[in-house]
Every structure is written in structure tokens, then in C-alpha cells.
Amino acid sequence: MTVSPRRYHITTFGCQMNKADSERMAGILEDIGYEWAEEPDQADLILYNTCTIRDNAEQKVYSYLGRQAKRKQEQPDLTLVVAGCVAQQEGEKLLRRVPELDLVMGPQHANRLRDLLEEVLNGSQVVATEAVHILEDITKPRRDSAVTAWVNVIYGCNERCTYCVVPNVRGIEQSRTPAAIRAEMEELGRQGYKEVTLLGQNIDAYGRDLPGVTADGRHQHTLTDLLYYVHDVPGVERIRFATSHPRYFTERLIRACAELPKLCEHFHIPFQSGDNDILKAMARGYTHERYRRIIDQIRSYMPDAAISADAIVGFPGETEAQFENTLKLVEEIGFDQLNTAAYSPRPGTPAAIWDNQLSEEVKSDRLQRLNHLVSIKAAERSQRYLGRLEEVLVEEQNAKEPTQVMGRTRGNRLTFFPGDLALLKGKVVKVEITEVRAFSLTGVMVN
Ligand code: SAH
Ligand code: SF4
Ligand code: F3S
């Protein structure tokens, strides 16, 4: 027997949900005595928390896994775990492909890591991918930041966007109770966290699955009600939420954000396409006109709100003219930030087997053209910050310039300025913006 404690390393791919899950799984591992290993090759337990949103994300996992599987042949007591969305999608098939694996566990099982590892220690190869009711995690997550934190509010997704694997791999919607969410935020406030981002794949669906209706017949627990319920948690100075769905976004929610001082003026509302026929083929449930109305409404309440979104180019059957409607939307709305992707056919999704797929050349050409426009528009949007005083919450050192610290504005723009992290970390300070780039700002602190 070795005397030193076993060590673990987690590599996380994919979205904020996966990051939040990894933090909880790390908390569970530390609770049962594991210690963090900075170098994967020094760890006795390797956990890959995987993403399968596009093919390249999935392939990355296999190349990482191959290396550790080889290591396991020389070090048989190495524990190899694949968690997350590839695990859910592939299940048993992963064991056949990589027989060295000890544990394959879907995202719904993240909070069960302790029990699953116990089965592994008893000598079994374990696959945990059945649909389950997600229980509250009673251990303390090991969070990457000491200033900002993720808090899940709803797991899963009940939409059926025709390109998307998320409903297959994350399961049906499961909302946490308002009390559990508030309790987690209060604990964060006590620990000194200053900013909380509430998370859900379709956060506007929050509460639909919880019991209770109001006198006028709407669900008693909505995202808007939740914001009013948690906004005064002591210590937490900023609240954000993501991801919003244009189909369910309400004016009531916008009003709450305008009214509640801790709610940041930043909205992440993916539109995916600026063309109504493509939106219909994607089964998104809104038109570009509705999307524009939402943005207008936000700007009528909060003229300076930052708007970000996701978009897909090269969806099956997308014509040049339909793609240009996406360019037009981006041109006219002027996003502060846009995550763009070329359509990638995913197993088990309807659009993947349509016969009107576009060539890789067309997709990558459109992606480049869109990205070019995005950076021009983002640079334009950044201009409005020049000379302004912005509230910045300091998070870290500027990795490229150690005399500077890094934080974000309420609108989520990365901001750098000269300062001492030891004094400023976790503080909200006023910064005069002296230099702007497409996606970041530089300034000086003002007392
Ligand atoms: N729940 C969010 C997004 C989830 S996935 C929403 O409803 O918008 C994150 C982003 O990945 C999506 O917004 C979409 O732009 C992109 N995406 C999802 N499936 C994709 C696919 N098959 N090919 C390319 N991009 C995809
Ligand atoms: Fe995927 Fe659509 Fe659900 Fe978003 S809303 S996770 S794009 S199915
Ligand atoms: Fe990827 Fe799963 Fe998130 S597929 S984007 S990690 S929900």
C-alpha cells in the first residue's frame, strides 16, 4: 500500500454546465481523500468530463483517452473515468472502444461519483447512463475561482432543436428548488464569492417542472420569480444567468433585470440563424422578427445592455441568401459577442440524416465571413466604452502582463488595468477606460 493519498486530475471540455459538474465532482473526490494533481501523468485517477456538441469536440476526447489508456497498461491501479456528454452518448460502446476504462458516467450521474467509484473499487467496470432524478450534491464543490461561481438552476432540456444532441445527453428538464438555489448562493456569499451565474441550457424553462401555479394560472416558479427571490443574498454583488431561449423570453424578465440592481445588464440569447425558414427547420419556435423585438425591448429598458448570442452557419439546405439573412441580423443588431460554429451533424439528431447537407468548403467559407463581421461589429460596440467609467469586478492577474489585474464589466467585457491583485481581488472598482479592442478593454483605476 502507498502512504501518500491518491491524486486526481480532471480535464473539462464543453460548456459551463460541464464546468459546474466538474467542480462538483472535484469536491466529491476531495471529500473522499483525493488530492489535486496539476500534471495528469502524476494522477492516480483521471477524469475526462466530455462534450459532444460538435464532432471535433468528440474526437478530441478520443485522442486524450488513447494516451491515458496506454499509461494504464503500465500502471494498472490508474483509475480512468469518462464523464459528461460523450459518456452519455456512447455508453457501453466506449468500454468496447477503450477497454481500459473503469467508469463511464453520464452528466445526470455527476453527483453520484462517490457511489460509482465504490463499485469500481469493488472490481467492476461501471456504466451509469440511465435517466435518474438528480439529487442535491451535499459535498462542497472545488471551484476554480474564488470570486465568481456557477449555480445550476435547471438541468436538461426539453426542446428538440433538430441539430442538437443536448436533450439526448442531458435528459429532461429538472429544476432545483428555489430554496436549494438560495441556500447555495448564501453559502457562496458567506465564503466571499461576489458574482453568481445561474445556469441552465434553456434557463427560461426554469420551474415548469416544479409543482404550484399562481391564481392567474401561470407557473408559480419562473426564472423571474427566482431572481426576485435570490437577488438580495448577502455578499453576492452580481448575478448573471444563461442561456436564454428567444421562444420563452419574457418582458417580465427584462423588467426584473432592469429593476434589480445586482442583475447585470448582459443577455446571452442565441438566435442560431437570421432566416425564418432555417429557424423553422431547426425547430427553434420563433422568427427573426420576434428575436429583434426582444432585443429592442431589452434596449428600451436598458439602452446600454450587452447582448451576446450563438449562431450556426451551414445548416442543411441553407442557401447563400439565407446565410446572408444571418449576416444581416448580425449587422443590424450589433452583438457585443457572438459564438459561431459551422453545422456539425450529430448522431441521433434529425438534421444529421437529411440529404441536403452542405459541403465543408461552403460551411467554412460562411464561418469565416461571419466571424469577420462579428469582430468588426464587436469592435464598434467596444467604442462606446472609451473614456467611460466602468464598474469592474477584479478576478485575476492579467496572465500576459503581471503588473495588471483582470476583471469584467457588468456587460461582461474583459477589462485590464494596472493594480495589485492581493489588494483588489474580489473588489468592485471604478475603472476609466482608455483603450478598447473588439473583445476587451484597458483602463486605469479611479478612486
Ligand atoms: N441551450 C443553448 C445552447 C446549447 S449548445 C441554446 O438553446 O441556444 C451551444 C451552442 O452550440 C448552440 O447555441 C449552437 O449554436 C451550437 N451547436 C449546437 N449543436 C450544434 C451542431 N450540431 N453543430 C454546430 N453547432 C451546434
Ligand atoms: Fe439544444 Fe435547443 Fe435545448 Fe439549446 S434549446 S440545448 S439548442 S435542444
Ligand atoms: Fe457539450 Fe454537453 Fe455542454 S455536449 S456543450 S458539454 S451540454
**Distance from the alpha carbon of residue 171 to the mean position of ligand 1, in angstroms:** 16
**Distance from the alpha carbon of residue 374 to the mean position of ligand 1, in angstroms:** 17
**What residues form DSSP beta bridges with 396?**
406
**Distance from the alpha carbon of residue 226 to the mean position of ligand 2, in angstroms:** 22
Is residue 53 lining ligand 2, measured as CB closer than 6 Å?
Answer: no
Residue type for position 315: F
What is the three-class DSSP state of 434?
Answer: strand
What pLDDT score does 213 carry? 81
What pLDDT score does 217 carry? 79
Q: Which long-range contacts (CB under 8 A, 24 or more apart) does 34-37 make?
A: 34/5, 34/6, 34/7, 34/8, 35/5, 35/6, 35/7, 35/8, 36/7, 36/8, 36/9, 36/142, 37/7, 37/8, 37/9
**Ordered mean pLDDT values, 10 residues apiece, the chain (447 residues):** 81 97 97 96 96 96 92 93 98 94 97 96 94 90 96 97 97 96 97 98 96 82 96 98 97 98 98 98 98 98 97 98 98 97 98 98 98 96 96 96 97 97 98 96 95
What pLDDT score does 118 carry? 96
What secondary structure does DSSP assign to 215-248, as a single string? TTSSBS--HHHHHHHHTT-TT--EEEEE---TTT
Per-residue cell: 267: 443577455
What pLDDT score does 322 carry? 98
**What residues form DSSP beta bridges with 446?**
430
Is residue 272 lining ligand 1, measured as CB closer than 6 Å?
Answer: yes
What pLDDT score does 138 carry? 84
Task: Please give the number of the atom of ligand 2 that sits closest to the Cα of 167.
Answer: 8
How many residues are present in the chain? 447
Is residue 167 lining ligand 2, measured as CB closer than 6 Å?
Answer: yes
**Distance from the alpha carbon of residue 354 to the mean position of ligand 2, in angstroms:** 19
What pLDDT score does 226 carry? 97
**Distance from the alpha carbon of residue 166 to the mean position of ligand 3, in angstroms:** 6
What pLDDT score does 1 carry? 53
Give the closest ligand to the alpha carbon of residue 291.
1
CA atoms of 264 and 149, how far apart (whole Å) = 15
Is residue 343 lining ligand 1, measured as CB closer than 6 Å?
Answer: yes
Using an 8 Å Cβ cutoff, are 311 and 340 in contact?
Answer: yes
Residue type for position 302: M
Is residue 46 lining ligand 2, measured as CB closer than 6 Å?
Answer: no
Specify the residue with its C-alpha closest to ligand 3, atom 7: 166
If we measure between CA atoms, which residue out of 90, 78, 91 comes closest to residue 45? 78
Give the closest ligand to the alpha carbon of residue 269.
1
Question: What are the φ and ψ backbone dihedral angles of 179, each rounded to 5 degrees?
Answer: -65, -40
**Distance from the alpha carbon of residue 160 to the mean position of ligand 2, in angstroms:** 7
Using an 8 Å Cβ cutoff, are 337 and 310 in contact?
Answer: no
